[in-house]
Amino acid sequence: MAFPLPPPMRLALDRAREAALDGEVPVGAVVTWGEEVVALAGNATRLGHDPTAHAEMVALRQAAQRLGSARLDECDLWVTLEPCAMCAGAIALARIRRLYFAAADPKGGAVIHGPRLFAQPTCHHAPDIYPGIGEEEAGDLLRGFFRERRA
């Protein structure tokens, strides 16, 4: 039996679709503070000519500005793809409370794949991690995007 996706992950998937329409890799991110959405973002590396404008980075910046603090220790991050090393580092520095992600990324992920950043002794904060929420939908979106690029 399939369960409905939590609203923040639904919003992240919507942002991922919007990013794809702009030619960006379809990744979306949402930061919540309690039940309140405080940031929504999609990948924007091409549009912004910014290699650091991954959805997670953009959403973390928005949330920090909105809440007036670089510490987001009462916030949760919802993202459609396992964060890379850069994003995982930013998540740790922001002190995100919980990380929810949809699709795993065996090639570029740094949470449950690759360097497993939060398990490193040099990492001073690790969020609670909840993988696989909306995995099928996020994976289909990513596979479809890259299939179209290769055609």
* Annotated binding-site ranges: 54, 84, 87
Count CB atoms within 10 A of the CB of residue 115.
15
* φ and ψ of 102, to 5 deg: -85, -85
Q: Which residues contact 148 (CB under 8 A, 6 or more apart)?
A: none
29 SS3 class: strand
Helices (H) and strands (E) in the chain, counts: 4, 5
Q: Which of 45, 9, 37, 15 is nearest to 28 (CA)?
A: 15
Annotated catalytic, 56?
Answer: yes
The single residue of 18, 36, 56, 135 carrying the catalytic annotation is: 56
Triad 51, 74, 27: Cα angle to 5°: 30
User: Which single residue is written with the structure tokens 């039940």?
Assistant: 35
Which residues are bridge partners to 79 per DSSP? Answer: 29, 101
> Which residue positions form the known binding site for Zn(2+)?
54, 84, 87
Residues classed as catalytic: 56
